Each structure stands twice: as C-alpha cells, then as structure tokens.
Amino acid sequence: MQLGLIGLGKMGKNMRERIRRAGIEVVGYDRNPEVSDVASLDELVQRLAAPRIVWVMVPHGDPTRQTIEELKGLLDEGDLVIDGGNSYYKDDAVNAASLAERGIHYADCGVSGGIWGLENGYGLMAGGAAEDIERAMPIFDALRPEGPRDEGFAHSGEVGAGHYAKMVHNGIEYGLMHAYAEGWELLEAKDIVTDVHGSFKAWSRGTVVRSWLLDLMVKALEETPHLEGVSEFTTDSGEGRWTLIEGIDNAVPMPVLAAALFARFTSRQENSPQMQAVAALRGQFGGHAVQMLDDKADVSPAAEPKHEAGRGVASGNVDDSKTRLDERPQPGDADEAGPSSGSGGTQGGDGPTSGSGSAR
C-alpha cells in the first residue's frame, strides 16, 4: 500500500515514520527539501499508483485550501484526499464538493497526539463515506495506538464529523487544563501545603482526576517546581472559539470552556480595561476607594502582584477583536500548536513556514 503525505512538520514527519513502521510506503512532500521525499506535488502524484490516497497535513485555512485546489488538478477520478490538519469543519464540505467535480473522493480526520504520537500513537476521528474510510483503514490502523481499534479510532460520521469531533476534544482540553491550573494555584497559595508537586503526583494513580494531562502537569512541576519564569501569556489555536460558537448555535451551555477561553484572553493583558472600568464604577456609585497601579492589593500568595504600568509581558498584545469568529488565528510558530494540535504554523500571509508542507 502507498500513501502520499503532504506536510512534514513536527506532526507530519512523525506520522510518516509511524506509517512506514507499519510497512506502508509513504511518499512525503514538504517545502523544506531537507525533509521532503520529492521536489513537488506533481512528482508526489507521479510516484503513487492509482487509485491514490493523499493525506494533507498543513495548517488550516488558505494553506489547506490551496493544497487541495492544486491536488484537484493533479489527481484522477477515484483518488482519495484526506485532510488530517486542524481545519474548521465547515471547510470540509466545500473541499469535498470541489474535489467531487473531478470525481475525487474526500475524507477528513481529526488527529490528536502531537509530538508524542510517534511512540504512543494518535487518537483519530474520521469523517466521510464508509467506503472511503474502509479503504484508508490500514493507514488509520498504523497511526492509532495499539489495542482495540475503537479505543483510538472512530468513524465519527459524514464529511466534517472528524474535524467537528476533534474541535470538541480540544474544547474539553481547555477546561481540563484550566481545572488543573486552578487546583495548582490554590495548593501553592496555602501555607500548610509544603509539597505541591508530590500532591499532584499522588493523583496519577487510582484517583478520578488521573489523566495524561495530569502526568504532563507533574512533569512540568518536576522541571520547574513553582513554574518560576513561566509567562502567563497564553495563546489559543482556535478550536476553543469554534467549539464555544457551536455551543451557542446549538443552545448548549458551555460555562467551563467559556471561562477557560476568556482566561487566556485575560492572560494577554497587563491591566484589564474592563476591570479598570469596574473599579472606577465602584468608586462612582459606592464611594469605594479606587486601587491605583502602585497600590498593594489582596492577591493569592501563589501569585505575583501586578506591577506598575509598563511592566509585564514583553511579547506584545493580541487583538482578538479582529479575529473572525469562524476562522482561528494562524499560529505564529509551530511550537505554539501544542501536543494535541495539527500541523505546524504560518508566518504573515505567505502560507506555511518551511516544514509545514504547503503546495505552493
């Protein structure tokens, strides 16, 4: 069996290796010639025997759309394209319809596992026609963790369902991470608790809060016991926003995700404008003293109090008000994507950086 894999960034490169270990021939293409097996998409297509399967693993949005559009002109009727990046699920129907004009099949697959997937396997959620999913099953089996198939792979539904399931997965991830973070700060703040790391580690077996995320939190605390020097500035790669919008559209209350996502927005502000307004209003209607920037405040013992104006995060501000609700921001660097996301990053408007596999 053969597979064409487009996008050999931090996930794509590991996926190529894991699939090869399963005995499947993989022909990889990437803009970075140091990791690419071929010099162009045209050469990739020529190296594959028809009917072909081509897996696209590039950043969502324009890079994915451009790649699929180029493949549309190169592939033949009966070939199958799988989008395995973190695409917005509504893009899948558009891509599928476009390829169908030339008789090319389409499926989508949400992929979770990040940099750990090479050894641990990837959690997969696929969307598409049953015959297309079955045709690609040897590839899915190569990528998923060892063990029962249904514990690492799901045919989630029709085209778009795979990316939708992955979107919800990432929304849940936001809430889980924030719950651990809240618990960590409270333990750090309480003077009678002298071993916060040990307390977290003791939860890793036999408790209802054990998880891989907890294991990663323990690892982080082993490396930096009190997270000294770690900036609070936290980006979001977009799936949390999409999930929250879907909750609104479907009248599904999602207060945990909303709080976790908005906390990330707050992390990017040195001095919250809305809380400045609240403080000013308290002063107006109740005669309460208005705290100034150089005053001391009631702050968690685990937290560093706010400094005077001008100090804090040096990496700049993110203007979230200008981000389309149905389009996530492009990550500025592949390392921002984190262990559960898709496929590298972009810089400016020129498509993916080297290693992320644009068709351009």
Which residues are known to be catalytic? 166, 173
Rounded to an integer, what distance in angstroms lies between the CA atom of residue 208 and that of residue 203? 8
Three-state DSSP state, 80 = strand
Please give the backbone phi and psi of residue 72, each rounded to the nearest 5 degrees, phi first.
-55, -35
H/E stretch holding 265: helix 255-267
Rounded to an integer, what distance in angstroms lies between the CA atom of residue 235 and that of residue 288? 35
The pair of three-digit structure tokens given for residue 108, joined into one six-digit string = 């989508």
Nearest one of 236, 247, 183, 242 to 209, comparing CA atoms: 183
- What is the separation of C-alpha 322 from the centre of its chain, rounded to a whole number of angstroms? 20
Report the largest interatomic distance among the alpha carbons of the chain, rounded to a whole angstrom: 78
The pair of three-digit structure tokens given for residue 91, joined into one six-digit string = 């893009």
Pairing of strands 105-112, 123-127: antiparallel
Rounded to an integer, what distance in angstroms lies between the CA atom of residue 238 and that of residue 328? 4
Residue with tokens 């085209």: 159
CB 331 within 8 A of CB 8: no
Rounded to an integer, what distance in angstroms lies between the CA atom of residue 107 and that of residue 116? 24
CB 28 within 8 A of CB 12: yes
Rounded to an integer, what distance in angstroms lies between the CA atom of residue 279 and that of residue 293? 12
Helix, strand and coil in the chain, % to nearest 5: 45, 10, 45
DSSP letter assigned to residue 321: G
- Return the sign of the alpha-carbon dihedral for residues 271, 277, 278, 279: positive
CB 61 within 8 A of CB 330: yes
